[in-house]
Amino acid sequence: MSPSYHLSKSLQISISLRLHVSISPSHHLTISPFHHLHISPFISPFLSSNQESDDGKTYYVKIHTPWDVLATYADVLKIKVPFKANDIPSNTIGRHDIPMNWLFTPFRLPNHIMNPEPDYFTSPFNKEKIDFFLIDDKETFFPPSVRNRIVYYILARCAYYKEDSDDKNKKGIKRLLNNGTYGAAFPLHDSRYWKASRDPNSESERFSLYKHWARFFSFFKEQPLNLIRKYYGEKIGIYFAWLGFYTEMLFFAAVVGLICFLYGLFTFDDNVWSKEICSEEIGGNIIMCPLCDKTCGYWKLNSTCNSSWQSHMFDNVGTVFFAIFMGIWVTLFLEFWKRRQARLEYEWDLVDFEEEQQQLQLRPEYEIKCTSRRLNRVTQMEPYFPAKSQCARTFLSGATVIFWISLIIACIIGVIAYRLAVYAAFASIMKDSPTNNIHMVGSLITPQLATSVTASCINFVIIMILNVMYERVAIWITDMEIPKTHLEYENKLTVKMFLFQFVNYYSSCFYVAFFKGKFVGRPGDYIYMFGWSKLRNEECDPGGCLIELTTQLVIVMAGKQVWGNIQEALVPWLLNWWGSRKARSHPESLYSRWEQDHDLQNFSHLGLFYEYLEMVIQFGFITLFVASFPLAPLLALLNNIIEVRVDAWKFTTQFRRPVAAKAHSIGAWQEILNGVAVFSVVTNAFIVAFTSDMIPRLVYMYAYSPDNDLSMKGYINNSLSVFNISGFSEDNRPDDGESPEWFNSSVITTCRYRDYRYPPGHEKQYTHTMQFWHILAAKLAFIIIMEHVVFMVKFFVAWMIPDVPAEVKARVKRERYLIQEYLHNYEVFILMKTCT
């Protein structure tokens, strides 16, 4: 099967212009009048007639690479190829040796799909030693992913200037695509996705992938990673291996999270503080101070009964256990992934693939735009940017990122101002409980819930808008920096995008978790936004701020996942359906393979970047704030089960075949995941200590409960301080008519608020009590203890689990030994043959 690559050219200037193609004696492909494209000796082009295209204006040039070219560039790129069958017996348990093997049968794929190629020892290809390698058929010796990678390598570096032109820097197919000379350049799929190819030489791997992998109803089956790697290349294969492994590990976190949630659900009857809040004798007799100035009235504590019960589902002893468990889970996930990655590196011949090899392959854009040259001890003369110019570009890039992050912060401040302003409106509207008339959910709607939900939705819309805008800016400033290599380009873009997305997605959750209700002052001495505004800082509900953090997390996380799946699946399908509407009416014999693929969406070189970014942001949600929502891993698991098949369906049916690329790891994302994992221990410790009410309850139970009976009776009354209503200023006092009918100021002289302060009339009135400092000390002690315990366990687990399995180490050593031995024997054989 011949390797091929397709270029399409749309004649948009005038239909009378004709594209002439000729082959010079030196086998260079020349296309005029638009350009001269000097490809490479022995690359064979084929130009289709414009009558074959649906619009009659598009030509298709098919590039074919003969064996000599493939062999030459395989030698240049040091591509590993087989030289001996693997003779090391596997130490892993075979499929048929697993106890109760039949239970796993429904989850497995046929062996020829899971392992499309035999297991060989491999060595870098050497064109001068062809007899050393196991070459049965030159046409199929190099797999499709290797062949299209070689072709793209050639096209990305070939010049297209005229012989008499002074500009010798015109190089690369990418530049021709950017300036519109060509409309597209892509490798061909080997068949239609819904049926196998009629060509007996075609392996129809696309059809096999669709049949066994890309269908949604195959969600419970394993992924054919070796076939994915063979068809799409190692880089895409590594992504699906990581996504599948991440999804598998999420199962354990989801089960434990579900158990913690059910624990909170089934321990309602033990929730003494919620019973006190809902009680008419206790909560019904506690008059709370207004939550906003003028438009908010006095209210009874039992009006928050529902939110108190809801909060208990997430704010209980299980929260602490789950926060600690997730700190350990994330370490196990990262360590076991390193082992899985090491095994794939060996199986996919990536053990000796170093980043330095990519460093030697400069980006064509860098070579073109760099006019200066300097000596490099490895590559001799190489292009480079003067330090002064590079510093200026880096400074402008950094300033742009800081500006956009500042814009996010400004938007968050705007949402906070909305929360402060609209709460007063909701409180005024709902003071007579008009929402109770709403069927089923009316009694659950409170001013706090209405404010939190609407603010979260507004924040989500802002996040999506800023994402779309910043993506373009991030790519623009990264292009402007002109990174030297593809690896450097991806790393720079990764840092910029993740930093922005981190602030964009998580800032609202950080506000609710660590700032809301923490800086409110007290009745008679409230703290206002910016100090001078009339917007009073928000207070937490007596049930705690944790339920609001849960609401914020669910809306942003679930909304992003739903929107992401719609965007990934629906948009490409609609674009392809519209783009191929005319061609679908043609007979299949007139709808050529290259035209079918041309009608599909292009998979850009940043396609995988967005896939990783989406999953890493989700990883942040389920680790950074998981103490507030134990069901987050379950939501992520359900999403990822769909995500794997949506991505598979998208790659197989909606996109042109991407150019294969090598990668031995997930790159910079590994370090980002490690950073998020460490940071998550800190955030969850602070959430349990300062956002949850767990620590105040424990302090009360062990130090302040009546008669030291270790009960929670009287906790609510103990946690609320007293304020004399006469101490309100005119700016804080509710307007006439805002307080409910039951409120009588001549009878009710005090109100309660959430804090630990001395009552009016005390010599230290309105200052913090000793219990406040005890609780603060307990919170700080909990943070220190939890962090140290989790970090010690993390480091111990990381030390106990080796990054590379012993079996893989043995195979690597065996392979290196065999390479040396076989090369020595081969050289001796050649020498003896020459002598005779």
> Which string of DSSP letters, residue by residue, matches 13-61?
S-TT---EEEE-TT--EEEETT---B--TTPEEEE--GGGSSSS-EEEE
Higher pLDDT, 264 or 538: 264
pLDDT tier, 771 (very low <50, low <70, confident <90, very high otherwise): very high
Taking residues 492-500, report their average pLDDT.
Answer: 87
- The DSSP bridge partners found for residue 31 are 21
Tens of pLDDT, residue by residue over 613-652, are: 899 999 999 999 988 899 999 999 999 999 999 999 999 9
699, 778 in Cβ contact below 8 A?
Answer: yes
Q: Where is 375: in which H helix or E strand?
A: strand 372-376
Tokens 């050219």 locate to 9
Across 141-155, 405-419, 576-590, 689-703, least confident range: 576-590
pLDDT of amino acid 560: 84
pLDDT of amino acid 40: 44
Task: State the average pLDDT for the chain.
Answer: 80
| One-letter amino acid of 833 | K
pLDDT of amino acid 49: 46
Taking residues 408-414, report their average pLDDT.
Answer: 87
26, 27, 32, 36 alpha-carbon torsion, rounded to 10°: -70
User: How many Cα atoms occupy the beta-carbon half-sphere of 805 within 13 Å?
Assistant: 17
Q: What predicted TM-score, i.e. pTM, was given to this entire model? A: 0.85
Angle at 543 between CA 539 and CA 547, to 5 degrees: 85
214, 109 in Cβ contact below 8 A?
Answer: no
pLDDT tier, 244 (very low <50, low <70, confident <90, very high otherwise): very high
| One-letter amino acid of 814 | R
Higher pLDDT, 257 or 736: 257
Tens of pLDDT, residue by residue over 726-770, are: 888 888 888 877 788 888 878 888 999 988 999 998 999 999 999
Higher pLDDT, 297 or 167: 297
Taking residues 561-566, report their average pLDDT.
Answer: 83
Secondary structure of 758-788 in HEC code, one letter for each residue: CCCCCCCCCCECHHHHHHHHHHHHHHHHHHH
Given a cut of 70, whether residue 19 has pLDDT beyond it is no
Given a cut of 60, whether residue 478 has pLDDT beyond it is yes
Query: What single-letter DSSP state applies at residue 164?
Result: T
Distances (CA, A) of 416 to 246, 534, 557: 35, 13, 19
pLDDT of amino acid 520: 85
Distance between CA 551 and CA 511 in Å, rounded?
A: 13
Higher pLDDT, 444 or 298: 298
pLDDT of amino acid 798: 85
Tens of pLDDT, residue by residue over 267-302, are: 877 788 888 888 888 888 899 988 888 888 888 888
pLDDT of amino acid 364: 66
Listed in sequence order, the residues at least 6 apart from 55 whose beta carbon sits closer than 8 Å to its beta carbon are 10
Tens of pLDDT, residue by residue over 186-211, are: 888 888 888 888 777 778 889 999 99
Distance between CA 486 and CA 495 in Å, rounded?
A: 14
* Strand runs labelled E in 601-731: 720-724
